[in-house]
Structure 1
Amino acid sequence: MIEGFAAALPANAWNWVAVWRRNYLAWKKVALVSLLGNLADPMIYLFGLGTGLGIMVGRVDGASYIAFLAAGMVAVSAMTASTLETLYAAFARMHSQRTWEAMLYTHVTLGDIVLGELAWAATKAFMAGTAITIVTATLGYAAWPSVLYALPIIALTGCVFASLAMIVTALSPSYDYFVFYQTLVLTPMLFLSGAVFPLNQLPGAFQQIARCMPLSHAIDLIRPVMLDRPISGIALHVGVLGLYALLPFFLSMALLRRRLMR
């Protein structure tokens, strides 16, 4: 069993690039539509809630509400883009199109495929998050040039949620099951992780739950740099996000290996 799992690990440090490149070439044909789709929800939240609630709320943690919200929407856009890519597109390549099966007849391993899929999902998250970062900074809701420090955090956030979503992809019999993950996990995380409301305004029990959520750690890294403030607990936040990226990666490989060997 251990030998079988070891055989599924990435064969070398570069095979995943072929998987990433294959997905990139396919995406190029619908690049504009894909980018606009990834930007739609966060931008609606940003300008809908930011301008509407911003009038009533005023300033939050020393910043305007729309500036406070902008940092949350950058993290949310990375979460959404990587999750949807891993759930729907990767599932289609594995289950419906059987692209993975064709790849496994070549020199790539299952680990190479999973790593390539996660890297591509993180790339899409990076593009979506960066686009919103540029828009918000251009409109004056984030500080130049400190927003540039948010870019690697956006990429890490994409890796985290792609890795988590790959577990759902490995376990789901069909597309219909993805709605449970989106409704029961992602939506509560959106409202409990400090993206829309300050964490210190939540009841104590919800604050403790929020501290265990990866999105809250991503926001705690992104918001200070967008507002040109120092980051506290950077090692803790990066460490937690690193664990959320690595552990689900190995778990999803084990689950996918079991699924594909049936």
Structure 2
Amino acid sequence: MPVLRRNFLVWRKTALTTVLGDVMDPMVALLALGYGLGSLLPGIDGVPYVTFLAAGSICMGALYAATFEATYSAFSRLHIQRTWDAMLNTPLSLDDVVFAEILWAAAKSMKSGLAILLVVVALDISRAATLLWIPPALVLLGVTFAALALVMSALAKGFDFFMYYFTLGVTPMVFLSGVFFPVSQLPEALVQAARLLPLAPAIELVRPLVLGRMPDQPWLPVLQLALTAAVAIWLATALMRRRLLR
């Protein structure tokens, strides 16, 4: 697809720095907290803390990579560089551009998740055969997180707007969805609220795979993520249409 090819050619010029930026935060959290703090903890449900944290780090890496790409990078192409205007003056439709941006951010998300997964395997944190199911799961995670972030780009007037999304959306998701500790440790009201956050079903899907077993009811988190992605894609497209074609 022309939009994906264009974004890839641009990304290729700075690939090394962008890869490091995408994976360093979740990887540092995995290594520092998993081995540092984990050495002081007895484990969670009989699982070493670093193994418990590995699934959260994979999902967190996917979340951050998709979100940064579909907010700051996408908004730069939309508002600063006017790349979207140029593409819309070709036979490409707005739907083509929106879907391509989501797929590109999802690809960046998958790259980040896979990089952390490789670290998990290399350090022998987990080498279960069920890890092979994580790459397909990352596709769904990436599309969901990217579509949600592109909604923010459609609403943004400037780069400062994204601080609200990260502060009020992404950060609470990371701390409430089970990345660092079981959601069951939260008060019951927060447990119910956390289950509505898109990162929660992502971790519910990935964590059993890291622990070497299949999720008990995989269709539930898959359905929640798919519905969230569908609504977010529709909303991002509608908001972009109102912004660009009014």
- Asked whether the two chains share a fold, i.e. TM above 0.5, the reply is yes
Quick one: which of 102, 113, 124 aligns to 1:140?
Answer: 124
TM-score scaled by length of structure 1: 0.92
One-letter code aligned to 1:162? A
Quick one: which of 136, 160, 164 aligns to 2:144?
Answer: 160
Which sections of structure 1, spanning at least 5 residues, go unmatched?
A: 1-16
One-letter code aligned to 2:88? L
Q: What is the CA-CA distance between 1:230 and the residue it aligns to?
A: 2.5
The reply to whether residue 192 of structure 1 matches residue 184 of structure 2 is: no
Q: 1:5 maps to what in 2?
A: none
Q: 1:227 maps to what in 2?
A: 211
Which sections of structure 2, spanning at least 5 residues, go unmatched?
A: none
Q: What is the CA-CA distance between 1:143 and the residue it aligns to?
A: 2.4
Q: 1:52 maps to what in 2?
A: 36
Q: Distance between the aligned counterparts of 1:191 and 1:244, measured in 2? A: 20
Q: Secondary structure at the match of 2:189?
A: helix
Quick one: which of 77, 87, 102 aligns to 1:118?
Answer: 102
Q: 1:37 maps to what in 2?
A: 21
8 A contact 1:143–1:227 mirrored in 2: no
8 A contact 1:83–1:161 mirrored in 2: yes
8 A contact 1:45–1:73 mirrored in 2: yes
Identity rate of aligned residues, in percent? 45
The reply to whether residue 63 of structure 1 matches residue 47 of structure 2 is: yes
Quick one: which of 214, 222, 233 aligns to 2:198?
Answer: 214
Q: How does 1:90-101 map to 2 (within 5 A)?
A: 90-101=74-85
One-letter code aligned to 2:48? S
Q: What is the CA-CA distance between 1:62 and the residue it aligns to?
A: 2.1
Q: Distance between the aligned counterparts of 2:12 and 2:228, measured in 1? A: 29
Matched length: 246
Q: Distance between the aligned counterparts of 2:153 and 2:85, measured in 1? A: 15
Q: 2:6 maps to what in 1?
A: 22
